Structure 1
């Protein structure tokens, strides 16, 4: 009888352990998703607070644009405007000293205005890549172009 009680008790304990394990495994995935979503919500809340701070700073900056004194100061510093009766002295800018004595070939192209680079890229796009500059071999074969003379016949 003691043996039967002992087997019944171990069977119940085993069944209880299996049920607890199944419950833990069943709840583990949804709990992990819940915690992950809470983490995302906290991150978005922090990002939202940063955005609100930025919006408030921008609103403050825009409110300053209505101030006539600020506008006057900006016109003086950026546009060199002066008040009537003021004398203005402008000093020439100091010449820029190149940092390297030997210019690199790519540096001149990078400093050229955007439209010059666009034009040179457009002109160079149709040239074959033989190592010869575009139009170098065509100079001798070109004929001089003359403007048409005005017609002497009345219209």
Structure 2
């Protein structure tokens, strides 16, 4: 009876189907074709997607550079306006160049300090003598050894 059922099952499956599972081969070949098509689609989209991402990054970089340039322009415009102010120019001339107006008496105190309100260090490391003094001492020492 099993042989009769086997013949009937083969007849129902069709002439190109094998008795052991022909549907599995058809499904496997369809899956392979589907996998190849999906790989082809993925490969065809990979380059444009990569270029899109690179262009988005470039746009972000350019926007950042533009923002930095705008801040520099604003800073330079502020500086230009500041330099147009006569009181600012006089204040800077007094501070940096020790400029005095003709009707003023100005004094510059030289105390050996670093200036700008900083005090000199007391009891710090001994300073080295100037180079010419060191040279002269070496000449005197060489004369004594002769």
TM category (shorter chain) comes to 0.5 to 0.7
Higher Rg: 2
Residue 11 of structure 1 pairs with residue 29 of structure 2: yes
Q: Deviations over 1:23-51 (max 9, x none)?
A: 11121122112212211221121121111
Q: Secondary structure at the match of 2:38?
A: helix
Matches within 5 A, 1:93-112: 94=112, 101=128
Runs of 4+ in 1 over 4 A off after TM superposition: 95-100
In structure 2, which of residues 47, 60, 79 is the aligned counterpart of residue 42 of structure 1?
A: 60
Mark the runs of 5 or more structure 1 residues left unpaired by the alignment. Answer: 105-155
Q: Deviations over 1:52-72 (max 9, x none)?
A: 111111110111111111011
Shift of 1:7: 2.7
Closer/same/farther in 2, CA of residues 93 and 84 from structure 1, 3 Å limit:
same
Residues 93-102 or 47-56, more deviating: 93-102
Shift of 1:90: 1.7
How many residue pairs are counted as aligned between the two chains?
A: 105
Residue 82 of structure 1 pairs with residue 109 of structure 2: no
Using structure 2 for the length normalisation, give the TM-score. 0.58
Shift of 1:95: 7.7
Q: CA RMSD in A?
A: 2.9
Separation in 2, partners of 1:60, 1:5: 80
